[in-house]
A and B are shown apart, each in its own frame.
Chain A
Amino acid sequence: MVNTLFDKVWNLHKVRDLSSGQSQLFIGVHLVHEVTSPQAFQMLREKKLKVAYPERIFATVDHIIPTDDQSRPFKDKLAEEMFSTLEKNAKEFGIKYFDFDSNKQGIVHVIGPELGLTQPGMIIACGDSHTSTHGAFGAIAFGVGTSQVRDLLATQCLAMQKPKVRRINVNGKLGKGTYAKDVILAIIRKLGVKGGIGYAYEYGGSVIDNMDMEERMTLCNMSIEGGARAGYVNPDKKTFDYIKGKEFAPKDFEKAVSFWKSIASDKDAKYDDVVDIDGSEIEPMITWGINPGQAIGISEKFPAVEDMPEDQRGTAMEAYEHNSFEPRTNVVGTKIDVVFIGSCTNSRLSDLREAAKIVKGKKVAAGVKALAVPGSQQVKKDAEEEGLDKIFVKAGFEWREAGCSMCLAMNPDKLNGREICASTSNRNFKGRQGSSVGRTILMSPAMAAAAAVNGKIVDVRELEN
């Protein structure tokens, strides 16, 4: 029988059908971070329950940690309490915990793949909506709430309703200066921020085939911004090569590869929906509004509200009011105050390399604050071995320690007042970067780097080098 990867992996992990129509699923890897887990551990304690499969759970800290001075105790008492609560919980319940001293700490969606924990054919869950990132490896991966984190700790299972599967083909070839970030923003723009509700997205086509693993992670990471709880790419040789040699890679690698090949979607698999996108038409993308679907190509003007479908106009007006941008004016030339290169979307080595290429030999524009925040301690080390840190620092960037940082501003990295941030993160929601009146423009690392050295939004394709 022909099947999608989604069906095969779902069925493989199905413990039983529930009377509600949901399935009880076993979760192969449960990733834990400090923000969405303390209440779950507490519920376990109150119910006098143990962790059922501690060897399948891996924890790290990313959301609340400072990325400059990481000496303990942290200056922020609440952050310190949250941090030490995770330390205590991991110890008490016997869970593997990657702390600062491990040299393996980092954003949970960066370290999972980096350590080889993320593998094809698994179901992976975490109390974080960007868990969809791990779908890049041909895993089903999705975010859950804290009560479900509790369920996972106590049973390693979740009760889930099976979604439909939409195949998204990105055909052709990407043009100069366009990246995975532009592809996913183009997809969300086309299908809308709620287009994916009730669906898992399977990404394919020549553009996706040509992406390296880190680009596929960027792509799958933002599935949730399009409303899809999970997004994935079928595993191929690039996937296997990436995992090979990683700390948690399977010992019997050849057998693993044959299993991984077997779970890929069959050639004639049926999908609930299919969408085709021409990759060659995708430009460098930027967002102009307050959700990631409010995105346009760099050569377009800010869109006019009256040209939009009626149900999008309210949010569009709210966006213009919040951002103080003028409809029908040029995107290029919009002045920025802050540049943030980082987050689970774009903080991996290849992202830093692309940004460094543009920054090299130039200076961050006067009055612009620029942060480069590697996604993990390992990414930081690798980047420093290549000298990327020196390129950033010489240009006037701050080179930070690994963490979520200004993506959601739960640590000291925040926008002030009305500042506009050119950001490689995943959400441009009002207040997301720590100031309720602050403004976020999402873009690729190359575009953010170009904005840093120009002090304004520019078309990265028109730079000299």
Chain B
Amino acid sequence: MKIKNVKGRGIPVAGNDIDTDRIIPARYLKLVTFKDLGKYAFYDVRFNKDGSKKKHAFNDEKFTRATILIVNKNFGCGSSREHAPQALMRYGIKAIIGESFGEIFEGNCTTLGIPTVIGSEVDIETLIKVINDDSVLEIRIDLETMQVSYGDFSFEIKQKESSRAVLTEGKWDSLSTLMEAKEETKKLAEKLPYLNGFRS
């Protein structure tokens, strides 16, 4: 499937350096499938020990139908756990707009078909303000024109070029691409010094 644009309502989770432990606490990594992770997204910042709700956008009714997550700097830093984007995806997130992203997290999102696009600090701050006031506003991310638009406004976005390419070409699920080169892979492995007794 080619992913050239994503549209939907926005949900803001403000703050810099929101790490993968915050997105999905490690104790939920003990599940051998990803399928139930959606309900544990941001668990420790969403719920008190007794299960009662804290103030958090993911608990806020006005954002329940949102699909586009808006974040600040270095979102998803920390561990390689794919559980983080899996939890967000299974909660219903389809794309993320932020100021910057942890690198492994960004790659994991792309592999799941979740675009992670980068806007300037000012544009993100404005967007967060706007959706806090108007949570049903439709936001549109266009990966061909590299623009985010909402209402009468739009701003330019950036994205890691290889991520943009695989999403728009429909090659974000890397496995089929990698499997095309079975013979070439075999040939390369035969040439690797540590696999051929250091012949070469």
Q: Could you say which residues of chain B place their CB within 8 Å of the CB of A430? A: 21-22, 44
Which of B29, B83, B169, B185 touches A157 (beta carbons < 8 Å)? B185
**B residues 132-149 with Cβ under 8 Å of A?**
none
- Say whether B32 contacts A85, CB under 8 Å: yes
Q: Which residues of A contact B44 (CB under 8 A)?
A: 430-431, 436
Stretch in B2-10, B58-66, B97-105 touching the partner: B97-105
- Given the known A-B contacts A155-B175, A431-B25, are A144 and B185 also in contact in the complex, defined by CB atoms under 8 Å? no
Q: Does A423 contact B (CB under 8 A)?
A: no
Nearest B-chain residue to A226, judged by Cβ? B77
**Scoring A residues 136 to 148 as 1 if CB is less than 8 Å from chain B, else 0, what string do you get?**
0000001111111
A79: chain B residues at CB < 8 Å are 30
> Does the CB pair A145–B192 fall under 8 Å?
no
Contacts A145-B80, A161-B160 given: A197-B103 contact, CB under 8 Å?
Answer: yes
A147 touches B162 (CB 8 A): no
Contact residues of A between 216 and 255, Cβ < 8 Å to B? 224, 227, 229, 250-252, 255
User: Given A409-B26, A434-B27, A436-B44, does the pair A259, B80 have CB atoms closer than 8 Å?
Assistant: no
Contact indicator A20/B33 (Cβ below 8 Å): no
Instruction: Flag if B181 contacts A127 (CB, 8 Å).
Output: no
A-B contact count (CB 8 A): 218
Task: Check if B166 is an interface residue, CB within 8 A of chain A.
Answer: yes
Task: Give B191's nearest chain A residue, CB to CB.
Answer: A12
- The number of residues on chain B lying at the interface, defined by a beta carbon within 8 Å of a beta carbon of chain A, is 64
Residue-wise, chain A 1-16 has the 8 Å CB interface mask toward B (1 for contact) of 0000000000011111
Instruction: Tell me, in angstroms, the Cα distance from A38 to B31 when the chains sit together.
Output: 9
CB nearest to A37 among chain B residues: B32
Contacts of B193 in A (CB 8 A): 121, 256, 259
Interface residues in chain B, defined as those with a beta carbon under 8 Å from any beta carbon in chain A: 15-17, 19, 21-22, 25-27, 29-34, 44, 49, 72-74, 77-83, 85-86, 100-104, 107-108, 111-112, 121, 160-162, 165-166, 169, 171, 173-175, 177-179, 181-182, 184-185, 188-189, 192-195, 197-198
Which residue of B86, B107, B112, B184 has the most chain A CB atoms within 10 A of its CB atom? Answer: B107
B82 to A: closest C-beta gap in Å: 4
Bound together, the chains give a CA A155 to CA B184 distance in angstroms of 11
A42 touches B33 (CB 8 A): yes
Contacts of B188 in A (CB 8 A): 13-15, 26
Contact flags A194-207 to B (C-beta < 8 A → 1, else 0): 10011000000000
Instruction: Tell me how far the C-beta of B96 lies from the nearest C-beta in chain A, rounded to whole angstroms.
Output: 15
Within the complex, which residue of A28, A38, A258, A410 is in contact with B27, where a contact is CB–CB below 8 Å? A410
The CA-CA distance from A315 to B15 in the complex, in Å, is 7
Question: In the complex, A252 Cα to B194 Cα: how many Å?
Answer: 10
B16 in contact with A314 (CB, 8 Å) = yes
Q: How far is the CA of A146 from the CA of B85 in the complex (A)?
A: 11
- Across the interface, do B100 and A155 meet the contact criterion of CB distance under 8 Å? no
Known contacts A39-B32, A150-B175, A159-B178; decide if A259 and B103 are in contact (CB<8 Å). Answer: no
9 contacts between A and B (CB under 8 A): A21-B161, A24-B178, A128-B79, A146-B34, A154-B178, A193-B17, A256-B198, A291-B17, A429-B19
